[in-house]
Amino acid sequence: MAQTGKRPTWLRGLAIVVGLLIVYIAVLVAYAAGNTDDDADSREPSANGVLIYLDVDAVNGADFSVGGHVSVYPGPDLLDARGDLKEDLIIDVSPMVSTSALEFSSGSRPGTVPVTLYSDGDIRHWPFDTYTSESVAVQAYGPNDAELPTEVAITDSLIGWDVEAGDTDPTEGQVFSITSSRTAGSLTFDLALCVMLIILPICTLFVSIQTVRRRKAFQPPMVTWFAVMLFAVLPLRNIFPGAPPFGSWVDYSVVLWVLGGLVASLALYVVAWWKQAP
């Protein structure tokens, strides 16, 4: 009969361990699946045109911008036998933070150039913030500002972000938009950090309330534990991905209440000390 009561407890402990292992493996699999990109790009520039890759590799919500690199691939009719440009080539990308166009002189070989585009969004909505660059246009020009057939391919080298070109087809040289939003995996990680913060005051309030109700004895070293929990909030908040500024949505919805719960827990434990300590 003594073993009958212990077996369910042992089984519950095993179930908890197995459940944690399953969640751990699922997180690793989801992360690995979200970072595989095996799609081969076989695009080639037209004979007298230009193929341009616009690769987004940074999102800066504080500066309302997205950063990237423009890689230029002219067609064979625009190059000499050595692969250098026969004529000057100008790439106009807008709306750029810088007003200067990208220029490649005749006799040079086009390469990759960094660009920064304006992008509208609000980082205070972290982790649900999205950024959109409207009316993006990429056009190649030859001598005398003659428009060249231009094909644009949008790519991204960002981890944790989805970058999509919308509204129109950029491959046809039309104006389009670029929207950057956090991936499901990134959003899950951000929300998990918030849940961890919320668990802190739940634990401390439980201990404080049980002590005040005299269901548990007062332990003086526990005061140090409450103080550590209180001062751990800001370091945890500062590691939020994307570094949302103070005063963001998450501060009003999570951080403020976590701090309030921890302070209330410490106050309750002081009350328990006053009632129970010799």
* Separation CA 13–CA 17 (nearest Å): 6
**Model confidence at 170: pLDDT above 80:** no
Strand 89-94 relative to strand 65-74, pairing: unpaired
Task: Mean pLDDT check: name the lowest of 59-63, 144-148, 169-173, 232-236.
Answer: 169-173
178, 180, 183, 184: CA torsion to nearest 10:
-90
* Separation CA 43–CA 151 (nearest Å): 9
**Model confidence at 106: pLDDT above 70:** yes
Residue the block writes with tokens 């080639």: 44
- What's the whole-model pTM score? 0.76
Instruction: Using CB atoms within 10 Å of the CB of residue 165, give its burial: 0 to 12 exposed, 13 to 18 middle, 19+ buried.
Output: buried
Q: What is the pLDDT of residue 245?
A: 83
Structure-token pair, residue 217: 């004895």
Residue 157: closest CA among 112, 109, 111, 92 = 112
Average pLDDT, the chain: 83
**Model confidence at 199: pLDDT above 70:** yes
| Confidence band, pLDDT 50/70/90 cuts, at residue 1 | very low
Q: What's the rounded mean pLDDT across residues 134-151?
A: 87
Strand 130-141 relative to strand 147-148, pairing: antiparallel
